[in-house]
Amino acid sequence: MSNYVGAIDQGTTSTRFIIFDHAGKIISQAQKEHRQIYPQPGWVEHDPLEILNNSNEVVGAALARANLSGSDLRAVGITNQRETTVLWDRHSAEPLAPAIVWMDTRTDQLMRRFLQKREHSWFREKTGLPLTTYFSALKLLWLLENVPGARRKAEQGDALFGNINTWLAWNLTGGKDGGLHITDVSNASRTLLMDLQRCSWDEELLAEFGIPAACLPQIVSSGEVYGEIRSAPLRGTVLAGMLGDQQAALVGQTCFAPGEAKNTYGTGCFLLMNTGMEAVHSKAGLLSTVAYRFGDEPTHYALEGSIAIAGALVQWLRDNLHFFDLAEQIEALARSVPDNGDVYLVPAFAGLYAPYWREDARGVIAGLTRFATKAHVARAALEATAYQVRDVVEAMELDSGIRLRALRSDGGMVVNELLMQFQADMLAVPVQRPRIVETTALGSAYAAGLATGLWQSTEDLRANWGVDHVWKPQMEESDRARLVHSWKKAVERSFAWVEGN
């Protein structure tokens, strides 16, 4: 039997397909970006068909590069941008509308409607999540209320809801000719519709939101043989893993013991700490979420600090302000000045997520003087990610009572040395980058490989983890305190921009 496992990593910015071997080494990979669609302020959409086509394209390209076919893979896992909501017609396989992306805020009016009746705590107790625009429930409800005919189709089971994992899995396993309509526990825990303890759809929540059960996928584990892949180019292998991308990175970083944590710097930034078989309810503004459940093993939980805008701010400077042509050029620009020149940028483009959860916040640039240049703004943009992560770590330490000793990092931004050093300085603990930085894809490959016997247990996987680089804190405590103080002032300035909340 083959020792290769494939992972489809469908992220907010791009889709990758990576083939790994038993040691977690990359055998082949391909990647493609998809369009970000912004029809109105606050709206962010993706085209589900473009994502499906890109996924098939990168799979084909990576297989061809390694001269392999689907049947040369032992199994395939999917990992995905979470919460992003797709509703499609099961007979035509056509989406009823563009996918509503996780950071889209069009549902803020809907959110207020529900908050007039219920407190955040009611939703948190059941799901581990506050009621915000971030999670899938309100996005799905928006589609049911705004797309003509959608509610009727959903009630009759003719329209299917899914996050991107479900959409891809359904298409891979047969689509309109009998594709599996499934989601894994980690993705289901991000819908605001799943009971976090029982890991099943919660009838009270479905009734509260008016969501028909007939359109929901079946909740399955994160690693088991779900079924055969029936579409090209992966025909000949099985689908055996599914994990939300942030949970997949936790697995790829082998954070299997309570207290072990990772931080992924991508479009957004997501810090997850494994809390073992207990869902710890946060008092400091973090989320409680499912980390993973492999086959019949117990469900593992995590505390999560979600930051909506990290790498997306770099993209915004590139695409909207035309500061540079390539994301990586931000580093040279930011390094051309010795410090931030007292400029602070709070990227509250989608409100502020953890630990603030302020829907009414919007982006601000604070501290501007005639001295400030484009380079200071670029530096402030990079620093913003590190400050936001610091805020989340503070909350994580409060909730867990565990003092972080080092931060395992990964994601597209970890090639940025300036950011990584500044992060170590802001946290006053070392920041580590592992040898294999494609931890998200690796995590879902691990899920699929565990389900098909390539690895026997999670403990087996630890051997594949090793450090490539460590950034040690170098900043004086007094400098750190001064910078953090100004950042917190800037955060306050971003609040209550949107009125009527």
Ligand X SMILES: Nc1ncnc2c1ncn2[C@@H]1O[C@H](COP(=O)(O)OP(=O)(O)O)[C@@H](O)[C@H]1O
Ligand Y SMILES: O=P(O)(O)OC[C@H](O)CO
Binding test (CB under 6 A) with ligand X, winner from 196, 365, 413, 490: 413
Counts for the chain of helices (H) and strands (E), in that order: 16, 23
Q: Considering the complex, state which of residue 68 and residue 354 has its C-beta at the smaller distance from ligand X.
A: 354
Name residue 11's amino acid: G
Residue in the structure block whose two tokens are 């915000």? 132
Applying CB under 6 A, does 459 fall inside the site for ligand X?
A: no
Applying CB under 6 A, does 399 fall inside the site for ligand Y?
A: no
Name residue 229's amino acid: I
Peptide bond into 347 cis (omega under 30): no
Residue 102 binds which entry of ligand Y, ligand X, none, CB below 5-8 Å type-dependent: ligand Y
Residue 416 binds which entry of ligand Y, ligand X, none, CB below 5-8 Å type-dependent: ligand X
Q: Considering the complex, state which of residue 108 and residue 383 has its C-beta at the smaller distance from ligand X.
A: 383
CA neighbor of 392 nearest in space, from 308, 493, 304: 304
Q: Alpha carbon of 489 to those of 93, 268, 365: distances in Å?
A: 49, 22, 11
Applying CB under 6 A, does 129 fall inside the site for ligand X?
A: no
Applying CB under 6 A, does 128 fall inside the site for ligand Y?
A: no
By the 8 A CB rule, do 361 and 351 touch? yes
Binding test (CB under 6 A) with ligand X, winner from 250, 307, 327, 448: 327
Q: What is the DSSP string of 161-173?
A: EE-HHHHHHHHHT
Q: Considering the complex, state which of residue 223 and residue 412 has its C-beta at the smaller distance from ligand X.
A: 412
Site string for ligand X, 248-287 (x = CB under 6 A): ------------------xx--------------------
CA neighbor of 351 nearest in space, from 117, 112, 99, 90: 112
Binding test (CB under 6 A) with ligand X, winner from 251, 330, 343, 431: 330
Applying CB under 6 A, does 127 fall inside the site for ligand Y?
A: no
Q: Considering the complex, state which of residue 288 and residue 416 has its C-beta at the smaller distance from ligand X.
A: 416
Applying CB under 6 A, does 305 fall inside the site for ligand Y?
A: no
Neighbour count for residue 342 (Cβ, 10 Å): 15
Q: How far is the CB of 149 from ligand Y (least distance, A)?
A: 29
- Give the torsion sign (CA, 173, 175, 181, 185): positive
Task: Specify the 3-state DSSP secondary structure of 121.
Answer: helix
Binding test (CB under 6 A) with ligand X, winner from 103, 185, 312, 352: 312
By the 8 A CB rule, do 224 and 438 touch? no
Applying CB under 6 A, does 6 fall inside the site for ligand X?
A: no
Classify residue 167 by burial, with Cβ atoms within 10 Å: 0-12, 13-18, 19+. Answer: buried
Applying CB under 6 A, does 11 fall inside the site for ligand X?
A: yes
Binding test (CB under 6 A) with ligand Y, winner from 20, 102, 123, 487: 102
Binding region for ligand Y (CB under 6 A): 11-12, 81-83, 102, 244-246, 266-268
Contact positions vs ligand X (CB under 6 A) = 11-14, 266-267, 311-312, 314-315, 327-328, 330-331, 411-413, 415-416
